[in-house]
């Protein structure tokens, strides 16, 4: 249960959750997730964010291994989502002199979630400041990254950015905490998946936050999830967030489909083969009967092209595909080229519905070439697949991202 020293008087006191199946009850986390919290043991003791209350006991053990019976003076609340705010009530009970540092939005949520209204507060505005002794903390409000109260705390003494969820990723921490001593292979993919699943809708607020942070001499990024970033990884992490929040993508196509008896799947396979023949190297196939939409969203934030396909089911689009369309709409996609295919047995609805959905995506290009299968594949099906694939290959090369 050891806390780990990071820099200056800053220590890592976060925890790993390896039992969780779905983050936010929705997103699979095969590698688990970490809830990161940081303790500055200075003239004043300052805690930055807390952890899911299920890990409150382990969390307290880590804190006490550093400060014993000494009280915590300040709790900085960068984000109120309960994976980080969950232990606040516990701390407020244990440390009655605790001053909670947050912004106006933070305190409304503290009362709503935890009934905390009488605690001592330091309500900060953009650019406000707190000295803990050696460390000097500056607060930057970053609303809607990805909740309205989100803010970041920059330690000007050591160049450490406490970023909240920003620059975070899925994946529990396997022994190490700081990037340079860890095998990072899983975290890069998991960062794209985290961004697309959790933050994806809020590209503009992320851009505004990056603008506010530009020029700050950041030497370490302490997110609330995943490794602590240092060295040349800082530019990579910030660059990833910058690209994803601009919906800037690589040349490639995601094919996301569902199929009941394999006929719709044959169309997906034929389109994929024609894309490859047209020179598209990056083709990411996702069968929604098996694969959670979480992984599709990850690849949609990577590649410019998206082709969605599914059967007609009870006069509507197959529900697994409909669910994906809903998740895509929530993320307010931009700069994508989108196509569709579908199938039916007696009355077609899948293609019609997907076209209607495509018409709502104003900042994307929806291809007029579609493939609609009645029952099984016929001689002209392959030609329709070829036309859709060729149009997609051409447009992802010329579409401005």
Where along the sequence are the contacts to ligand FEO (CB under 6 A)?
79, 81, 83-84, 146, 165, 224-225
Choice between 86 and 310, CB closer to ligand FEO: 86
Contact predicate 160/215, CB 8 Å: no
**Residue 347 Ramachandran class (φ > 0 left, ψ -120 to 50 alpha, else beta):** beta
The token pair that represents 242 in the structure block: 């910058």
Choice between 8 and 32, CB closer to ligand FEO: 32
Give CA–CA dist 391/384, Å, rounded.
11
Choice between 24 and 383, CB closer to ligand FEO: 24
For residue 212, the minimal CB distance to ligand FEO (Å) is 19
Q: What is the 3-state secondary structure (H, E, C) of 242-259?
A: HHHHCCCCEEEEEEEECC
Choice between 165 and 320, CB closer to ligand FEO: 165
Choice between 155 and 165, CB closer to ligand FEO: 165
For residue 47, the minimal CB distance to ligand FEO (Å) is 16
Contact predicate 301/333, CB 8 Å: no
Choice between 167 and 344, CB closer to ligand FEO: 167
DSSP string spanning 197-249? IIITT-HHHHHHHHHHHTT---SEEEESSSPBEETTHHHHHHHHHHHHHTT--
Q: Which residue is nearest to ligand FEO (CB)?
A: 81
For residue 52, the minimal CB distance to ligand FEO (Å) is 9
For residue 182, the minimal CB distance to ligand FEO (Å) is 20
C-alpha distances out from residue 360 to 27, 183, 298, Å: 25, 42, 21
For residue 35, the minimal CB distance to ligand FEO (Å) is 7
Residue 284 forms beta bridges with which residues? 254
For residue 190, the minimal CB distance to ligand FEO (Å) is 13
């Amino acid at each position: 249960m050891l806390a780990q020293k990071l820099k200056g008087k800053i220590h890592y006191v976060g925890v790993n959750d390896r039992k969780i199946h779905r983050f936010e009850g929705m997103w699979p986390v095969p590698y688990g997730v970490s809830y990161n919290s940081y303790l500055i043991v200075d003239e004043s003791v300052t805690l930055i964010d807390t952890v899911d209350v299920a890990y409150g006991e382990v969390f307290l053990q880590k804190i006490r291994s550093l400060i014993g019976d000494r009280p915590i003076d300040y709790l900085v609340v960068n984000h109120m989502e309960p994976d980080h705010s969950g232990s606040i009530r516990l701390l407020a009970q244990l440390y009655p002199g605790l001053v909670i540092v947050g912004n106006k939005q933070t305190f409304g949520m503290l009362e709503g979630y935890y009934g905390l209204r009488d605690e001592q507060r330091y309500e900060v505005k953009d650019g406000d400041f707190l000295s803990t002794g050696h460390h000097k903390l500056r607060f930057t409000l970053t609303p809607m990254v990805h909740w309205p109260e989100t803010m970041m705390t920059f330690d000007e003494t050591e160049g450490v950015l406490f970023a909240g969820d920003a620059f975070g990723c899925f994946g529990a921490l396997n022994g190490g905490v700081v990037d340079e001593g860890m095998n990072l292979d899983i975290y890069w993919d998991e960062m794209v998946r985290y961004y697309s699943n959790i933050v994806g809708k809020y590209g503009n607020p992320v851009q505004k936050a990056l603008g506010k942070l530009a020029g700050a001499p950041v030497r370490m990024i302490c997110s609330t999830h995943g490794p602590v970033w240092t060295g040349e990884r800082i530019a990579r992490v910030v660059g990833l967030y910058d690209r994803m929040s601009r919906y800037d993508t690589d040349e490639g196509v995601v094919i996301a489909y569902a199929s009941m008896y394999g006929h719709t799947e044959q169309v997906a396979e034929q389109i994929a083969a024609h894309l490859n023949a047209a020179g598209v190297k990056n083709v990411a196939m996702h069968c929604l009967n098996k694969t959670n939409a979480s992984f599709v969203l990850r690849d949609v934030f990577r590649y410019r092209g998206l082709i969605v396909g599914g059967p007609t089911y009870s006069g509507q689009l197959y529900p697994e595909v409909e669910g994906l369309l809903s998740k895509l709409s929530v993320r307010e996609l931009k700069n994508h080229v989108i196509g569709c295919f579908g199938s039916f047995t007696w009355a077609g609805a899948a293609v019609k519905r997907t076209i209607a959905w495509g018409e709502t995506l104003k900042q994307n290009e929806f291809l007029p070439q579609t493939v609609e299968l009645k029952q099984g594949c016929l001689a002209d099906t392959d030609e329709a697949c070829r036309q859709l694939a060729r149009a997609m290959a051409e447009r992802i090369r010329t579409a401005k991202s």
